[in-house]
Structures are given as C-alpha cells and as structure tokens.
Amino acid sequence: MKTVCNPYLPIDEYIPDAEPHVFGDRVYVFGSHDQEGGYTYCMRDYVTYSAPVTDLTDWRYEGVIYRSDQDPDYPNRKYMYAPDVVQGNDGRFYLYYAMGGDYGYGGYYGPISVAVGDSPAGPYEYLGFVKNPDGSPMQKYVCFDPAVINDDGVIRLYYGTQYSYELEEDFLTNGRLEDEMKMFNRTREEILSYKEDSINGPSMLVLEDDMVTVKEEAKHIIPYDTRGTSFEAHPFFEGASIRKIGSKYYFIYSSWLNHELCYATSDKPDRDFVFGGTIVSNGDIGFHGREAKDRLNMTGTTHGSIECINGKWYVFFHRLTHKSDYSRQSCAEEICIESDGSIRQVEMTSCGLNGGPLPASGSYPAVICCNLTNHRMPHGSNSIFKDNFPNITHLGEDRFIGEIENDTLIGYKYFSFSSVKIISIQAREETPENLVVLDAPLRVDERTDQEGFEQANAPAGDGFGNDSWGIGDADSQATGSDGAAIAGAFDIRLTPDGESVGRIEVPVAEDPMAWISCEGEVTIPDGTHALYLIYKGNKKTQLKTLTFS
C-alpha cells in the first residue's frame, strides 16, 4: 500500500508558496523553488509536480517549466517569486510571477510578468508584463505575489503587499516614508498620490482576453487601515490567492503574523470581504488556543492556498527547515468547508494527504515530524539563525533532524499501530565533525521574534518535569541500561506529557559520521496514536530514520 507523508514531495525538494490547481484529471502544484540550504528566497527555476486527482500518493516530477533567465529583467533581478497559473479563454495556460533579488530586494518594483504554455506542465515562454491600455507597465499599488482566476470568462488578477508604516501618526517625518520609497522604488509624489488610499494593500484588476492588458483598473479589495474591522488582529501581509466556491469568493492570504494562512469571504470579487479565520499555522499557533510562545516548530513565512481535489478540500502551505526562511517545503492538510462556508483551523500532521494515519510499519524519514520544539523556538521572517535549536537539515545526501538537545520534543501525527513491539531509529551523537553550519550571513527581520531568537541560545529548559533517568549534568557521562556510555535517550510517549511507553538509548559516537541503529521495546495499544520522541541527554543528538516492527 502506498503512503504519502508531509512534506508530500521528495524530502530534498523545496517548493514553497504552493498554488494547487486541478486541470483535467490531475492536480498540479505551482510555487517558488528554494535551494536546499540556500541563503535567500527562490534561488532555483520553476518546476512543477502533479498527481492524479484519485491518488495523492503518486506525485510525478514534471521538470523545469520556466527559467528565470527567460525574463528580460534577468540578471538584474535573478529570482522568480510566488507564481500562479490560470487557463485562459483560449485554452492556453498563463503563468504570472514577480522577480526579485537577494532577500527580496527589488521584489516590490514590478511589473508583474507573464509567460504562456500549451500545457499546465509547460514549457512556458515569456509573453510580456501586465500593462495599461497605452502599453505602459501597470504599477498601480505594489505588484507582488500575483494570483489569478478565470471567473466564468473574466480574468481577475489579485496582488499586493502591506506594511503599516502609513498608520503611524508621524509617518511623513519619522523616516518611514523614505523607507517606503526605497522599498517600493517609488517617488515621494507617487506614494503620497494615493491620498486617502494607500500604495499598500491587496488589490484586484480585470484583464483583457490577451491576458496582459488591463481591462478594469486595480482597486483595493480590503481597506488598508483595518483598525476596527474584522481584519484588525490578522491584517493582510502578502501571498494573495483566490478561489470561488459556489457564488462566494475566498481570498486566502498570509497575515502580518507571518506564520498563518488566513481567509476572507465576499459575494463580490472586488469588495466587501469579511475576515473568516485562520486555516493553518506552521507552528500550530491558535489551534485549540495555542499561544505564540508555545509554537510547536520554528515559525516564519508561509504562503499557499486551498483546492478541491476529487471532492475533498485541502490547504497547501509550507514549513521551514535549515533554521531559515529560505529552505521551505510544501505540506498539505485536508480541511472541511462547513455548511455556513466557514473553515476551521487544522493542525499540522505527518500524514497530510494520506487520507488517514500512516501505517506503523517499515521505515520513515525522521524529518516527517510535524512538531519539533525545545519549548523556546524562534519566529523568523526573511531570516537565518545561527543559534542552537533543533532543526531539519542536511549534510551531503543525508536529511535529518539536527541539534537535538535535552528536552527536545519530536512529534508525529498520526500512526496506525497494530502489534508494534519495537521502534528502531538511526541516530548519532552530534559532534563538531557532523554539525551542520549554514554558510550564509545571519539575518533577522523586523517581524522576527527577537525574544525567541535570543532564547534559542539559552540553556535547555525542563518542559517535561525533572529528569528521572540519571542523565546527569553537562559535565558528567551518562550510562545506559547495560552500563555503556550513552549520549542520551529518547523517551517514547503517545502524548507530550503522558506515560512513557518505551525508551531508545543513543550510544556515544565512535565514528562521528556513522549512523547507529538503536532500538527499544515499546508497549503501544493497537489503534491510531500520535507518537512523541522526547530526548533526555547532556550531549546533542541527530536523528535520521524511524522504523516500526
């Protein structure tokens, strides 16, 4: 029986900002393309994967569909950001995207570029840019993160970003106006010309059938100033996406909180949107009331959308790896659209598109964990951290969880257990020889959680009570059940604070590059359970695989 995990693409593939679309009998995922362990966003050319709508375990690599050097602005701006694809009224497929440079520099300059192909999987050829009827580049508002829909023959383009600078009372004198001028590459007169409106905010325009010429001028779909509105706690930041369900429009976006995908609904495509809620957070913040300080992963930028596939609705989003915002992997979860049109927030899981729990048999990569925390995980945004905290990373061809320290929780949701007696892992003590150090500059952004950033280098906490295993302090050498030296041990539980159902000891390294097979007997009742590995040890550990028998 085939299974699919989160992330649902190969573990060495990084496609964030996912826009899933069903064309014919297949679902295609379009998105940015990050470099594994890269130093900035979107360093690779666009590729796509597709799967039959009847089998979301069977993803097929469709290859490179469009290269950044096909855009005339290359190499002035080298990277292509979050795209979207729509089928035009002529039956061809149109790809919309924005270009940017390192750390997003130039990504707000516009205009929005367009490429065209005869198949959803391309190849695509450069067509032009979104332009005004006089042929000049359309640059009303900030041309960023385009999303497009063929609304019964009407081609609607959504886009934008939003910063709150203009809401500051001294905006004209505190330097923020100059910040916007530099950020958006606009003159003072251009920015102030919006008067009671703003250059910031989510916008929509209508295109002619040629897919590049503006037919109806852009207008904001949500007011820039959201104070006192339903959007106040979750204002738009970026990542515009649009879906139409029945006669209602769903606007999906990344909020200023930066870790969540939110949605708003309206009976109109260009106005009267009302905030609906959060669909998913890449730290499970807000799920069952979870607070930001208790995030279950490093959090940061997310972007994605929803799609109906073979009668079921799913949300596609991304998680962060490599202690940065620049190596993002696509994940997905099934969602439910209630009879009143609302969408309840879903939790991150390891089983995602599998249609049910993963069978607790055979081996899995450890990196399919959906929760990874030392109880003080940072929030990044356009950031790279060099401080210590558990993270998904790679070294050569090995993908694994590194910097596992005392009290780290590694969670998997969910497995279906049947007569499982032993859980085995491949692990090794972390040493200077196998420690992954990202060769990139340290970066923190204004949306970075600085407190979490500083705490990430603090001594390990005690989130699960006192250590009763005799691991000892950092200067002592722990011993295992047979008296041999160990780096530490994983306590196996079915709930984070539940009773132990087993233990796996990790020997002290002899060869720092060798993965050691370790196992432990477990007592797990048959049925569907979450699985948590909670590490206790005064030496850090790395974890590569998880095997059930």
CA 434 to CA 432: how far, in whole Å?
A: 6
* Inter-residue contact 119 to 136 (CB < 8 Å): no
3-state DSSP helix/strand/coil percent for the chain, to nearest 5?
5, 40, 55
Cα separations (Å) of 377 from 323, 349, 388?
10, 18, 10
Q: Looking at this protein, which amino acid is placed at residue 103?
A: Y
CA 117 to CA 125: how far, in whole Å?
A: 6
User: What is the distance, to the nearest Å, from the Cα of residue 217 to the centroid of all Cα atoms in its chain?
Assistant: 32
Quick one: which of 373, 379, 391 has its CA closest to 444? Answer: 379
CA 529 to CA 417: how far, in whole Å?
A: 7
Q: Looking at this protein, which amino acid is placed at residue 507?
A: P
Name residue, tokens 């840019």: 129
Quote the tokens at residue 363.
Answer: 């081996």
Cis before 111 (ω within 30) = yes
Please, how many CA atoms are within 13 Å of residue 209, restricted to the half-sphere of its CB?
5
CA 85 to CA 129: how far, in whole Å?
A: 14
Q: CA angle 56-62-65, nearest 5°?
A: 130
* Inter-residue contact 513 to 397 (CB < 8 Å): no
Quick one: which of 370, 367, 366, 408 has its CA closest to 389? Answer: 408
Residues serving a catalytic function are 17, 238
Q: What is the dihedral of CA 212, 249, 56, 312, to 10 degrees?
A: -160
Cis before 263 (ω within 30) = no
